[in-house]
């Protein structure tokens, strides 16, 4: 593959960011990725921005139970308890 022969360019790095964060880059490619970062402040910033994005997304809360769902599931629970007893 091409990355075995030459250094990565920025345009390739941005496409590999997720594989890098997921720890799915083959070792040689990971080395090239990190070598590029060490020399490229823009891609270092880009990677940092992806991490910030993930962190901010993680602050979102999953949707809350609607009152109707809560009611339905309470009823479900009580019916089940009655059958159990």
Partner 1 sequence: MSLHNHLLSGLLPAALNAIYVAGAVRWRAGGHELVDPDDELLQALRRGEEAAFLTLVGRHQGMLLRIARSFVSSPAIAEEVVQDTWLGVLRGIDGFAGRSTFRTWLLRILVNRARTTGVIEDRSVAIGDAAPVIDASRFDASGAWASPPQHWVEDVDDRLLAESLAERIDTALAELPVRQREVVMLRDVDGLSSQEVCDALGISEGNQRVLLHRGRSRLREALEMELGGVG
With CB under 8 A as the contact rule, the residue among 11, 27, 67, 82 that binds partner 1 is 11
**Binders in 58-77 for partner 1, by CB under 8 A:** 58-65, 69-70, 72-74, 76-77
Closer residue to partner 1 (CB): 26 or 74: 74
End-to-end alpha carbon distance in the chain: 66
Is position 28 an interface residue for partner 1 (rule: CB under 8 A)? no
The CA radius of gyration of the chain, in Å to the nearest whole number, is: 24
CA 28-33-34 angle, 5° bins? 100
Torsion of CA 21, 26, 27, 30, to 10 degrees: -40
Instruction: Name the minimum Å distance from CB 4 to partner 1.
Output: 17
The gap from C-alpha 35 to its chain's centroid, in whole angstroms, comes to 23
Residues of the shown chain interacting with partner 1 in the complex, contacts defined by CB under 8 A:
9-12, 14-15, 17-19, 21-24, 34, 37-38, 42-43, 45-54, 56-65, 69-70, 72-74, 76-78, 80-81
């Amino acid at each position: 593959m091409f990355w075995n022969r030459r250094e990565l360019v920025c345009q390739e790095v941005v496409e590999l960011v997720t594989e890098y964060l997921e720890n799915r880059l083959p070792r040689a490619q990971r080395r090239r990725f990190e070598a590029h970062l060490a020399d490229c402040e823009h891609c270092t910033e880009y990677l940092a921005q992806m991490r910030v994005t993930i962190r901010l997304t993680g602050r979102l809360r999953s949707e809350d139970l609607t009152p109707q769902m809560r009611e339905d599931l309470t009823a479900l629970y009580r019916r089940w308890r009655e059958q159990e007893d």
